[in-house]
Amino acid sequence: MITQAQIPAVLDHPVYDASGNKIGEAKHVFVDDETGRPDWVSVKTGFLTGAECFVPIHEATVVEDHLEVPYPKGKVKDAPSVDVDAGGHLSAAEERRLYEYYGIGWEGTQEQGGRSGDDAMTRSEEHMHVGVEQREAGKARLRKYVVTEEVQQTIPVRHEEVVLEREPVTDANRDAALSGPEISEAEHEVTLHAEEPVVETRATPVERVRLSTEEVADEETVRGQVRKERIEADLPDEERGTDR
């Protein structure tokens, strides 16, 4: 919405649609007779024909050096042509036809513009509503593979060694000493034993591993743009200087 103070900045300046397409040049701004609020702007769409199309200015915005309207260029150029009387006014019938073309409720516009006798304006604001949507953030997987490691362990082992024992012949062992021939050859053998490490491996379950998910709460700051309407009052000079 533009104010009366912005009208000079609109006239003879480019008019664009919301997609950035230039529609033409703003030539005339028509205001409501009762509220003084700008209602329509006429846009000259061609240099040769000089045709002017009417577009509602309620939701238009002044962007840098041009006016931006929320209607496509083709919609504006195909608007019905209307006749403006000598006083620069649109008739009620022509205005109704334009409102119907742009899909704007005539009755709702009358209430908003004060045509029903209401002396108050409605100021609206946009509010940002933020929600969440779930998306895939990544994948996790388990993979089992085999590695070989060198390990060592110390264990006790035993072995037998030969001990040569000599004992003199006494009365106690004389009979055993004389049991064989007096002079002969003989041989006696002893088997030695020894322990040695024996290694074998056994697979033993040691743990169970699985993947699961858990939700972790976090916070993110979301930024956006919202539009707010502002209402300005143009007061007579004598009222501006009055102390209250």
Assign residue 204 a region (left: φ > 0; alpha: ψ between -120 and 50; beta: otherwise).
beta
Closest-CA residue to 42 (of 91, 1, 83) = 83
pLDDT higher than threshold 60 for residue 216: yes
Calculate what percentage of the chain has a pLDDT beyond 70.
Answer: 87
pLDDT tens figures, 186-202: 888 999 999 999 999 99
Domains of the chain (ranges, CATH numbers): 4-126+223-232 (3.90.50.10)
* pLDDT of the residue at 47: 64
Helices (H) and strands (E) in the chain, counts: 6, 6
pLDDT tens figures, 33-87: 777 788 888 888 876 666 788 998 888 888 888 889 999 998 898 888 877 665 5
As a whole number, the mean pLDDT across the chain is 83
Tell me the whole-structure pTM to 2 decimals. Answer: 0.43
The CA distances from residue 223 to 124, 131, 218, 226, in Å, are 20, 13, 17, 10
* pLDDT of the residue at 8: 85
Closest-CA residue to 228 (of 86, 126, 116, 138) = 126
pLDDT tens figures, 6-39: 888 888 899 999 888 999 898 888 887 777 788 8
